[in-house]
Chains A and B, each alone.
Chain A
Amino acid sequence: MEVGRLPISASQRSKLIAAGYTTLSSFSSLSPSHLARDLKISDNEAAEIMRVASHSHRLDGSAGGCGTVNGAQTAWDMLHEEEMFPRITTSCEDLDNILGGGINCKEVTEIGGVPGIGKTQLGIQLAINVQIPVDYGGLGGKAIYIDTEGSFMVERALQIAEACIEDMSECGGLLRKDSQACQLKMHPNNILENIFYFRVCSYTEQIALINYLDKFISEHKDVKIVIVDSVTFHFRQDFDDMALRTRLLSGMALKLMKLAKDFSLAVVLLNQVTTKYIDGSFQLTLALGDSWSHSCTNRVILYWNGNERYAYIDKSPSLRSASAPYSVTSKGIRNSASNCKRIKMM
Chain B
Amino acid sequence: MAPLKSLEQEYPILDSNFQSFCASHDIFSVEDLLLHDLYVLAAFAEQESSSERLKQGIAQVLSIIDGQHQPWLNGIELLEDAQRNKHVLSTGCEGIDLLLHGGLRVGQLTELVGPSSSGKTQVCLLAASNVAKKHIGSVVYLDTGNSFSPQRVTQFICQHSDPAIDQAKHRTLQKVMNNISCKSVFDIFTMFDVLHQLEFNLRSQMQGGDCKVQLLIVDSVSSMVTPILGGSGSQGIHSWHALMISAGYLLKKLAHEHNIAVLVTNHTVGGDGGISKPALGESWKSIPHVRLLLSCDHGGSICNVSILKHPSMAVGKAARFMIHN
* Contact partner, A67, options B116, B149, B202, B236, Cβ 8 Å: B202
- Among B150-202, those with CB < 8 Å from A are 150-154, 173-174, 177-184, 186-187, 189, 192-194, 196-198, 200-202
Contact between A290 and B29, CB atoms less than 8 A apart? no
| A10 neighbours in B (Cβ, 8 Å) | 234-236, 239
Shortest Cβ distance from B121 into A: residue: A317
Contact between A247 and B181, CB atoms less than 8 A apart? no
* Contact partner, A250, options B121, B227, B243, Cβ 8 Å: B227
How far apart are the CA atoms of A195 and B249 in the complex, in Å?
A: 47
How far apart are the CA atoms of A130 and B186 in the complex, in Å?
A: 26
Stretch at the interface among B80-88, B140-148, B283-291: B140-148
Contact between A76 and B194, CB atoms less than 8 A apart? no
Stretch at the interface among A22-30, A43-51, A149-157, A330-338: A22-30
Interface of B is mostly: mixed
* Contact partner, A317, options B152, B179, B325, Cβ 8 Å: B152
Stretch at the interface among A1-9, A135-143, A183-191: A1-9
- Among A56-89, those with CB < 8 Å from B are 56, 59-76, 78-79, 82
Contact between B246 and A75, CB atoms less than 8 A apart? no
How far apart are the CA atoms of A314 and B189 in the complex, in Å?
A: 31
> A107-B146, A291-B279 are contacts. A21–B223 as well, Cβ < 8 Å?
no
| B268 neighbours in A (Cβ, 8 Å) | 290
Contact between B116 and A315, CB atoms less than 8 A apart? yes
Stretch at the interface among B35-43, B44-52, B103-111, B206-214: B206-214
Contact between B189 and A7, CB atoms less than 8 A apart? yes
Contact between B145 and A295, CB atoms less than 8 A apart? yes
> A74-B180, A261-B184 are contacts. A79–B154 as well, Cβ < 8 Å?
yes
Contact pattern, A 287-298, Cβ under 8 Å of B = 1, otherwise 0? 001110111110
- Among B9-56, those with CB < 8 Å from A are 28-32
Stretch at the interface among A158-166, A251-259, A303-311: A251-259
Contact between A261 and B151, CB atoms less than 8 A apart? no
- Among A108-137, those with CB < 8 Å from B are 108
Contact between A314 and B117, CB atoms less than 8 A apart? yes
Contact between B267 and A291, CB atoms less than 8 A apart? yes
| B146 neighbours in A (Cβ, 8 Å) | 106-108, 257, 260-261, 297
B78 within 8 A of A: no
| A79 neighbours in B (Cβ, 8 Å) | 150-151, 153-154, 177
Contact between B125 and A317, CB atoms less than 8 A apart? yes
A54 within 8 A of B: no
A20 within 8 A of B: yes
How far apart are the CA atoms of A127 and B151 in the complex, in Å?
A: 27
A19 within 8 A of B: yes
Shortest Cβ distance from B237 into A: residue: A10
Q: How far, in Å, is A339 (CB) from chain B's closest CB?
A: 25
> A59-B197, A254-B227 are contacts. A73–B183 as well, Cβ < 8 Å?
yes
Contact between B270 and A59, CB atoms less than 8 A apart? no
How far apart are the CA atoms of A315 and B269 in the complex, in Å?
A: 18
How far apart are the CA atoms of A293 and B144 in the complex, in Å?
A: 14
B57 within 8 A of A: no
How far apart are the CA atoms of A74 and B140 in the complex, in Å?
A: 9
* Contact partner, A60, options B183, B200, B270, Cβ 8 Å: B200
> A5-B243, A7-B189, A65-B211 are contacts. A289–B3 as well, Cβ < 8 Å?
no
| B132 neighbours in A (Cβ, 8 Å) | 75
* Contact partner, A76, options B122, B145, B177, B220, Cβ 8 Å: B177
Contact between B230 and A243, CB atoms less than 8 A apart? yes
Contact between B197 and A78, CB atoms less than 8 A apart? no
Contact between B180 and A75, CB atoms less than 8 A apart? yes
> A74-B180, A107-B146 are contacts. A253–B223 as well, Cβ < 8 Å?
yes
| B177 neighbours in A (Cβ, 8 Å) | 74-76, 79
Q: How far, in Å, is A290 (CB) from chain B's closest CB?
A: 5
Q: How far, in Å, is A278 (CB) from chain B's closest CB?
A: 8
A237 within 8 A of B: no
B222 within 8 A of A: yes
Q: How far, in Å, is A66 (CB) from chain B's closest CB?
A: 3
> A66-B138, A243-B230 are contacts. A254–B187 as well, Cβ < 8 Å?
yes
Contact between A20 and B150, CB atoms less than 8 A apart? no
Residues of chain A at the chain B interface (Cβ within 8 Å): 1, 4-7, 9-10, 13, 19-23, 25-27, 29-30, 38, 56, 59-76, 78-79, 82, 106-108, 243, 246-247, 250-251, 253-255, 257-258, 260-261, 277-279, 283, 289-291, 293-297, 299, 314-315, 317-318, 320-321, 346
- What are 14 inter-chain pairs, A to B, with CB distance below 8 A? A4-B243, A10-B234, A26-B3, A27-B2, A67-B213, A68-B213, A69-B194, A71-B183, A79-B154, A108-B146, A243-B230, A278-B298, A290-B115, A290-B268
Please give me the 9 A-B residue pairs with the lowest Cβ-Cβ distance, nearest first: A66-B211, A20-B29, A64-B201, A26-B2, A79-B150, A76-B177, A251-B227, A293-B116, A250-B226
